[in-house]
Structure 1
Amino acid sequence: MSTLTLKRAKEILAKHTTEPHLFLHAAAVSAAMGAMADHFGADKEHWEAVGYLHDVDYEKYPDEHCHHVRELLEPEGIDEEDIRAILSHGWGITTDEAEPETDMEKSLFTVDELTGIVQAYALMRPEKMDGMALKSLKKKFKDKRFAAKCSRDIIQRGFAMLGMEPGEVMQCCIDGMTAHKEELGF
């Protein structure tokens, strides 16, 4: 088994997903995961690939999200480590199978929801991702009515798991998503 590449992740996701907003979310999480990999000195493309593929079973099984990951990815030859990382983003939410343990797993658990807040904030700004200030994002994060579907509780649990300051993780999301703003439609 070889390391999952972003190209391969995109091929696999396209087999199971058709909705444009899910591809956009995949790209946002992938971008944030790349910045988190940089933070941890890890393999950036590998983390981006795992981030891109994290919702592989969501469109087909929205009410059983994370319960079909293994059956979709094992036949594709995806490493157990990557399957586990993908499963871990649903820990305590949709499944209890894989508690996040590695930096990659903890990062995916955290940025999955956090990218939604960054994206919502970018959409309301005339300059989109350009010049997004951490201080302003923190304000939006504190406003529970803003991007209300993005669970602050899950994100806070992720910050605690990572043992990082919330601002550090938010800045990684801003940096990663800014670097991929064209792909994200910003």
Structure 2
Amino acid sequence: MTTTIPSREDALELFRKYNKSDALYKHALSVEAVMRYIAEKLGEDVERWGLVGLVHDIDYEMYPDQHCHKSTEIFNEAGWPEELSRAVASHGWGICSDVEPQSLMEKYLFTIDELTGLVNTTALVRPSKSVLDMTPKSVKKKWKDKRFAAGVDRSIIEKGAAILGLEISEVIDLTIMGMRTVADEIGLRGEA
């Protein structure tokens, strides 16, 4: 088993090989940024957490019916460590994977994946169109409207927060703060 993690450049190249969608790329950057932000706050391996966030949806565009399964094959062929492959598979727990998140990295990935979509959509309807002036309260207001960002499964976020022992507001705050670090790249600097 390889323990060396690939470089970010190699991970990005592998991601781009299987994904052409700009929206999926921005989502990958969002999840990567949030994972890096949380890892830094917790004193965890920022590179490892970031890579898992960046490539978590590697099989989503080309293999939607095999999401969280085809990724294992892709990572095995690329010689990636099993730990990273497992973490990616765990983000679909209960949806398209039976790999339960166990490590702290896996639990955070599971929790914030859907949440980045809700934060993104909330930012886009704000007057500023930005995450830079957003607070958890803004997202919580939109949370209650099930028609808003209807594709975001709030129960997954709630389940993940419970697994982590965190309040929803805490997870939202971490997600916003992480996404602020890549506001330009993901198109959420807005007019602020």
Structure-1-length-normalised TM-score: 0.95
In 1, Cα distance between equivalents of 2:68 and 2:48? 20
In 2, are the aligned partners of 1:122 and 1:129 still within 8 Å (CA)?
yes
The C-alpha deviation readout for 1:57-90, integer Å capped at 9, x for no partner, is 1111112211111111111111000000000001
**Higher mean Cα deviation, 32-41 or 55-64?**
32-41
Q: How does 1:60-71 map to 2 (within 5 A)?
A: 60-71=62-73
In 1, are the aligned partners of 2:93 and 2:101 still within 8 Å (CA)?
yes
Tell me the number of residue pairs that the alignment of Structure 1 and Structure 2 aligns: 185
Q: Any unmatched runs of 5+ in structure 1?
A: none
Percent identity, aligned pairs only, is 46
The answer for the alignment partner of 2:107 in structure 1 is: 106
In 2, are the aligned partners of 1:85 and 1:104 still within 8 Å (CA)?
yes
The answer for the alignment partner of 1:54 in structure 2 is: 56
The answer for the alignment partner of 1:44 in structure 2 is: 46
The answer for the alignment partner of 2:123 in structure 1 is: 122
The answer for the alignment partner of 1:80 in structure 2 is: 82
In 2, are the aligned partners of 1:5 and 1:46 still within 8 Å (CA)?
no
In 2, are the aligned partners of 1:40 and 1:103 still within 8 Å (CA)?
no
Could you tell me which amino acid in structure 2 is paired with residue 120 of structure 1? Answer: T
Could you tell me which amino acid in structure 2 is paired with residue 92 of structure 1? Answer: G
In 2, are the aligned partners of 1:121 and 1:137 still within 8 Å (CA)?
yes
In 2, Cα distance between equivalents of 1:142 and 1:65? 28
Could you tell me which amino acid in structure 1 is paired with residue 117 of structure 2? Answer: G
Q: CA deviation at 1:9?
A: 1.6
In 2, are the aligned partners of 1:26 and 1:55 still within 8 Å (CA)?
yes
In 1, are the aligned partners of 2:122 and 2:138 still within 8 Å (CA)?
no
In 1, Cα distance between equivalents of 2:32 and 2:136? 20
Q: CA deviation at 1:22?
A: 0.9
In 2, Cα distance between equivalents of 1:173 and 1:23? 17
Q: How does 1:3-42 map to 2 (within 5 A)?
A: 3-42=5-44
**Higher mean Cα deviation, 131-140 or 107-116?**
131-140
Which stretches of structure 1, 4 residues or more, deviate above 6 A after TM superposition?
none
Structure-2-length-normalised TM-score: 0.92
Give the aligned CA root-mean-square deviation in angstroms.
Answer: 1.2
The C-alpha deviation readout for 1:118-169, integer Å capped at 9, x for no partner, is 0001111232112101111111122212111100111111111111121111
In 2, Cα distance between equivalents of 1:57 and 1:32? 20
**Higher mean Cα deviation, 147-156 or 6-15?**
6-15
Could you tell me which amino acid in structure 2 is paired with residue 41 of structure 1? Answer: G
Q: CA deviation at 1:55?
A: 0.5
